[in-house]
């Protein structure tokens, strides 16, 4: 019995020694600074002015507090509204730590002219190929000298997969620490809140409802215009007997442009779709009380009804 007690005592001492550890040898990984890269757009030059395309330009400034920048690469894709097509990404600007050092961390008033962008994207007609409703989507990839890239996906293929630039600091105007990207439209400036709110929506010309005996295909009703982007508006209307049909349009220098859209209704073919007409609808750039929309109805030909019929829609603001 005495031997068993000694044996247990020895085992206890061994376990106690094994559980002791030099706390000075326990090290936590050191924190590393992330990328601080803020892009601020000049509000007076935040779009490509379609009414003065020869002199149009974007103006922006780039700020960083980092001292370990390997590269800042700003690339862009170009979307053509007329062709409904998007290019592959093109690099339009590259910066290094030396650029920020020379500017004390604040590279101010850099410009992308319409001419520069047309050349970068190889537009065969140059700036004349740029039209209202086109847009440039810019995005920033910053690489640090330690190899870290921002933005980047971390914890990939796990339940905690995320981006290393958190949503609460992405593009929050003057307080952001990292600007992921920005979008610039080819358009005329549209005041914030312009052409939003409740409107009376009416079809005032065009084909009647061929199935349910109504005089129009779009129901006359109050709709609510909401802002999708600085120049894009959307509302839900009733087409034939089906409500909740989304309708989007662009406000471009007094013209109302409509892209190819579907009503979600069809007869086994391409569907009852519509697109903008030529000439387009109009609006007063100083007064959003009346908006006229010109479209081509059933542009793809479905359901055995006439194809490509013109239609006029009217939105009248409710005060």
The ranges assigned to domains in the chain are 38-187, 197-317
Alpha-carbon distance of 43 to 313, in angstroms, equals 33
Nearest to 53 by CA among 134, 139, 138, 110: 134
119: tokens are 């050349």
With tokens 């084909």, the residue in question is 207
Alpha-carbon distance of 148 to 250, in angstroms, equals 40
Instruction: Give residue 23's pLDDT.
Output: 52
Instruction: Give residue 28's pLDDT.
Output: 47
Q: Which CATH number fits domain 38-187: 1.10.3470, 3.40.1000, 2.60.40, 2.60.120?
A: 2.60.40
Alpha-carbon distance of 83 to 20, in angstroms, equals 72
Q: What is the CATH number of domain 197-317?
A: 2.40.128
Alpha-carbon distance of 73 to 68, in angstroms, equals 15
Rg over CA atoms, the chain:
29
β pairing state of 48-49 and 181-187? parallel
Q: What is the DSSP letter of 50?
A: G
Nearest to 258 by CA among 227, 293, 228: 293
Instruction: Give residue 151's pLDDT.
Output: 81
CB 249 within 8 A of CB 257: yes
CB 305 within 8 A of CB 290: no
Instruction: Give residue 164's pLDDT.
Output: 56
289: tokens are 């009380």
Per-residue pLDDT of the chain (319 residues; tens, 9 = 90+): 555 555 555 556 555 555 555 555 555 445 456 778 899 999 889 999 999 999 999 999 999 999 999 999 999 999 999 899 999 999 999 999 999 999 999 999 999 999 999 999 999 999 999 999 999 999 999 999 999 898 865 555 566 455 556 544 444 445 467 888 899 999 998 988 999 999 999 999 999 999 999 999 999 999 999 999 899 999 999 999 999 999 999 999 999 999 999 999 999 999 999 999 999 999 999 999 999 999 999 999 999 999 999 999 999 999 7
């Amino acid at each position: 019995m005495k031997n068993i007690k000694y044996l247990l005592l020895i085992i206890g001492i061994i376990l106690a020694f094994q559980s002791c550890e030099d706390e000075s040898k326990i090290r936590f990984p050191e924190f590393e600074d992330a990328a601080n890269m803020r892009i601020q757009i000049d509000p007076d030059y935040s779009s490509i002015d379609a009414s003065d395309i020869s002199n149009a330009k974007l103006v922006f400034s780039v700020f960083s507090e980092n001292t370990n920048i390997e590269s800042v690469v700003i690339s862009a894709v170009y979307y053509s509204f007329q062709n409904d097509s998007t290019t592959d990404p093109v690099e339009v600007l590259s910066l290094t730590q030396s650029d920020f050092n020379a500017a004390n961390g604040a590279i101010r008033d850099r410009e992308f002219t319409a001419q520069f962008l047309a050349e970068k994207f190889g537009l065969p007609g140059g700036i004349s190929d740029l039209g209202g409703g086109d847009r440039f989507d810019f995005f920033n990839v910053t690489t640090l000298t330690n190899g870290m890239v921002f933005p980047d996906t971390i914890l990939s293929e796990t339940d905690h997969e995320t981006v290393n630039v958190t949503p609460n600091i992405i593009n929050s105007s003057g307080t952001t620490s990292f600007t992921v990207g920005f979008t610039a439209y080819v358009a005329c400036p549209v005041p914030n809140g312009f052409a939003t709110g409740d409107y009376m929506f009416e079809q005032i010309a065009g084909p009647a409802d061929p199935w349910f005996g109504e005089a129009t295909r779009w129901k006359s009703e109050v709709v609510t215009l909401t802002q999708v982007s600085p120049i894009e508006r959307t509302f839900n209307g009733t087409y034939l007997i089906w409500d909740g049909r989304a309708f989007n349009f662009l406000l471009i220098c007094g013209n109302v442009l409509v892209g190819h859209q579907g009503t979600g209704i069809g007869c086994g073919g391409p569907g009852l779709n519509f697109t903008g007409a030529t000439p387009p609808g109009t609006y007063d750039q100083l007064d959003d009380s009346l908006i006229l929309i010109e479209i081509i109805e059933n542009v793809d030909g479905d359901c055995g009804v006439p194809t490509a019929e013109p239609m006029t829609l009217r939105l009248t603001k409710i005060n």
